[in-house]
Amino acid sequence: MTADVHEGAVEEEQTDVCVVGAGPAGLTLALLLLRSGLRVTVVEKSRSHQREFRGEILQPGAMRILDRLGVLEGARERGCHEHRRFRLMEQDRVLLDIDYRSLPAPYNHLLSIPQSHLLTQLLLSCAEFTTFRYVDGCRVTDLLRDDRGRVTGIAGDGYTCRAAVVVGADGRFSKVRRLAGIAAGRTEAFDQDVLWFKLRGDRAADGHDIRVFRGSGSSPVLVYGSWPDRVQIGWTLPHKGYQAVVRGGLGHVKQQLAKAVPAYAELIDDQITSLRDLSLLDVFSGRAERWATDGLVLIGDAAHTHSPIGAQGINLAVQDAVVLHPILVEAVRLCDTSAAFLSRFEETRAPDIEAMMRLQGMQSKAMLSTGAFATKVRPRLAAVVRHTPLYRRILRTIAYGNPSIRVAEELFVA
């Protein structure tokens, strides 16, 4: 099922749906469409599934869907850690304790799972269908159009795929979105960027919680156990402030990191040997100005990009695929892939996305903002939230997104 497309080779094919991008959104959608009897080609620029600093926290909402699709168990067997709580700590004080164990089993935890485990399992399930084609190592550089300007396929690296519909599932810097002339709608809604790194060692597997530490005089830090025996650390720094931080050199950066998470100072000293051990995430949010044009629709990060706060990216990407699935099945069946028809996806899904963006903005201000006022108000605010019904509402929204989203299994063919 896998096809490598090399420079100079010219290959052309025809399918029902051509999905650009084999991330969580693209592969989940591909599997749903294959189960519904459609022909699907997925085109992916990368040759491997290694996504070192990418989303690897699964929320219960995504777990439930992936389980319905029969991929969760296999992905879990490749290795993962369960986390029970999300905790906001100031010095030794727990300010906020979001306990997933109060949700109904079996999805009453967070799952830290390398994205490669999930993508490999999704791909294996897709490969069971003879109507599936996976073209990796192929970077899409052009959209094909008919004489009325309607998108009719994609091209790149000597490969061409004509399709009834093209789906742009190619992530936050979507090339497909740009080629379609759709603005990303980027907003600098957050005050922080995140510097990610991983550490090995005895301390690495400690704890079953995802924690945000706020120390005095240092930026907040996110810490959690990452499979197999690593601790993943996300150090927040002022938005666009990375250059200023690294100007002081590696020693200065290490000093700052050690100050932010003193418990890991020794491991930081041993294991961070170059700035290349650190990976900067430019945090922004964005909502594409429209999600469909004639013959093309955007999903996942390509349609809406989020801050990593609250670990929502995969949840939203997987749910996007579930919402788009019945719309695409009908579009192909009716031979109506007009912008008007495909825009049903945005009409249905945009309210969920906007609600999540609002919640993430509030979370960011409540947890990450520095300054005397925020520091004074935060413990009181956290105490109030903990003892009100608002706490359960926040937990449910973070865990499930829109809890009413269900896989349209009635569309599956034997």
User: In the complex, which residues of this chain contact ligand FAD (CB under 6 A)?
Assistant: 20-26, 43-46, 53-57, 139-140, 169-171, 175, 196, 281, 300-301, 308, 311-315, 317
Choice between 90 and 136, CB closer to ligand FAD: 136
Provide Rg for the chain, Cα atoms.
Answer: 22
Q: How far is the CB of 349 from ligand FAD (least distance, A)?
A: 13
Find, among 330, 325, 324, 331, the residue nearest to 347 by Cα. Answer: 324
DSSP-assigned states of every residue in 184-210? --EE---SEEEEEEEEESGGGG--SEE
Closer CB to ligand FAD, residue 45 or residue 265? 45
Tell me whether residue 44 or residue 209 sits nearer to ligand FAD (CB atom).
44
Smallest gap, in angstroms, from Cβ of residue 375 to ligand FAD?
Answer: 26
C-beta of 79 vs 340, nearer to ligand FAD:
79
> What's the token pair of residue 396?
């449910």
Q: How far is the CB of 294 from ligand FAD (least distance, A)?
A: 20
Alpha-carbon distance 132 to 153, whole Å? 16
Q: How far is the CB of 123 from ligand FAD (least distance, A)?
A: 11
Strand ranges for 45-90 from DSSP E = 57-58, 81-83, 85-90
Q: Which 8-state DSSP code applies to residue 139?
A: -
The candidate with the shortest Cα–Cα distance to 138, out of 152, 123, 156, 161, is 156
Nearer to ligand FAD, 183 or 377 (CB): 183
* Cβ nearer to ligand FAD, comparing 356 with 407: 356
Token pair for 303: 């349609």
Q: How far is the CB of 189 from ligand FAD (least distance, A)?
A: 15
DSSP 8-state code for residue 53: T
CB of 30 to ligand FAD, least distance (A): 11
Among 243, 245, 250, smallest CA distance to 268 is for 250
